[in-house]
Structure formats: C-alpha cells, structure tokens
C-alpha cells in the first residue's frame, strides 16, 4: 500500500537526494569555486543512484523484505557518498576552514535518517504481519 508512513519517508529521502544537490553547494575547491553535484559526474551518479533506490523501494510495497534490504543498501550507498564527499572536500580544499564546506555535504545524512525511519516502519509492518500469521 502506498499510503504507508514509510512511503512518505522514502519520498522525502528521494527528494533530498534528487533535488537538493542540484541547488545546494557541496564545497569550495582550492580556487574558491563552489562545487555543485551537477559539476562532478561521480557525485551526480551517487546522488542519482540513491534517488533511484529510494523510488524503487517505494514501489516494492508488496515485498517488505526486499524493501528492507534495499533500504539498507541505500543507507550503505549514502555512507559511501558521505565518505567520498568528505574525502574530496579535504583533498581539494586542503582541509581548510569549515566555512569552505557547503551545506550540501549534509544531504546524505538527511537521506540516511529518512531511510532509517522508513526501515523502522517496514520492520514494524513485517512484525505485525508475522504476529497475525501466528494467530491463524
């Protein structure tokens, strides 16, 4: 069913990973040029993969176990994205002041929180179905 709370969480995670990186800066490079996700193919691909996984997870509502696994895979992908963002910003800007880091570096964290909430709701639904099956 698409009207579940996990659908809202997954939609917000897809929105955060798909739309926000296009408008929020990730970091500033050594020359002071602001880097957006659309400027670097690696970042764009990772954000797009996270968005696609979130949308795909929404439409697997009949297979809760697969939804849960894809949610965990998406969390791992967002941790990889966060690691790449931190690594690239430290290498490019030389680890300079925090003012050079953009607000866009927090987008994977927002996605992780929403996906974790969705996984919690999926797990709750799965436990409810298992408890009803025991009563039959």
Question: What are 48-69's pLDDT values in tens digits?
Answer: 999 999 999 999 888 889 999 9
pTM of the model: 0.86
Mean pLDDT over 90-112 rounds to 72
For position 47, what pLDDT does the model report? 93
Q: How far apart are CA 4 and CA 87, in angstroms?
A: 37
Question: What are 14-43's pLDDT values in tens digits?
Answer: 999 999 888 888 877 767 777 778 888 888
Taking alpha carbons only, the member of 26, 86, 85, 78 closest to residue 51 is: 78
Structure token pair of residue 102? 């953009």
Stretch (H or E) spanning 70: helix 64-93
Q: Could you list the residue range(s) of the whole structural domain that residue 114 is in? A: 5-135
Tracing tokens 């941790």 back to the chain, one arrives at 79
DSSP structural state of residue 111: H
Q: For all residues of the chain together, what is the average pLDDT?
A: 85
Domains in the chain: how many in total?
1
Alpha helices in 1-136 (DSSP H): 5-18, 20-23, 41-58, 64-93, 107-135
For position 69, what pLDDT does the model report? 94
For position 24, what pLDDT does the model report? 85
Q: What residues pair up with 73 in beta bridges, in sequence order?
A: none
For position 100, what pLDDT does the model report? 63
Which class for 58: exposed (0-12), middle (13-18), buried (19 or more C-beta within 10 A)? Answer: buried
Which range (28-42, 73-87, 94-108) has the least confidence? 94-108
């Amino acid at each position: 069913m698409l009207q579940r709370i996990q659908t809202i969480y997954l939609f917000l995670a897809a929105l955060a990973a798909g739309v926000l990186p296009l408008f929020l800066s990730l970091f500033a490079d050594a020359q002071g040029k602001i880097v957006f996700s659309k400027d670097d193919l690696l970042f764009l691909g990772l954000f797009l993969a996270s968005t696609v996984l979130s949308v795909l997870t929404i439409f697997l509502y009949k297979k809760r176990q697969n939804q849960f696994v894809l949610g965990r895979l998406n969390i791992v992908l967002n941790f990889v994205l966060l690691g790449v963002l931190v690594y690239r910003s430290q290498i490019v800007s030389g680890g300079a002041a925090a003012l050079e880091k953009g607000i866009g570096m927090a987008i994977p964290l927002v996605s992780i929180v929403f996906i974790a909430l969705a996984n919690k709701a999926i797990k709750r639904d799965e436990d409810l179905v298992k408890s009803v099956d025991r009563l039959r």
